[in-house]
Amino acid sequence: MFPANIEMRYWHAVSLVNIGKLEQALPIFRDVFQKDANWIELTRRIVTNQMLNTSAENLEKIITIHK
Tens of pLDDT along the chain (67 residues) come to 577 899 999 999 999 999 999 999 999 999 999 999 999 999 999 999 999 999 999 999 999 998 7
Rounded CA Rg of the chain: 11
Residue 7 CA, chain-centre distance (Å), reads 10
The residues near 13 (Cβ < 8 Å, ≥ 6 apart) are 25, 26, 28, 29, 32
What per-residue confidence (pLDDT) applies to 67?
77
Q: Where are the domains of the chain?
A: 6-63
What per-residue confidence (pLDDT) applies to 10?
97
From 35, 26, 11, 37, select the one nearest 59 (Cα to Cα). 26
What per-residue confidence (pLDDT) applies to 1?
59
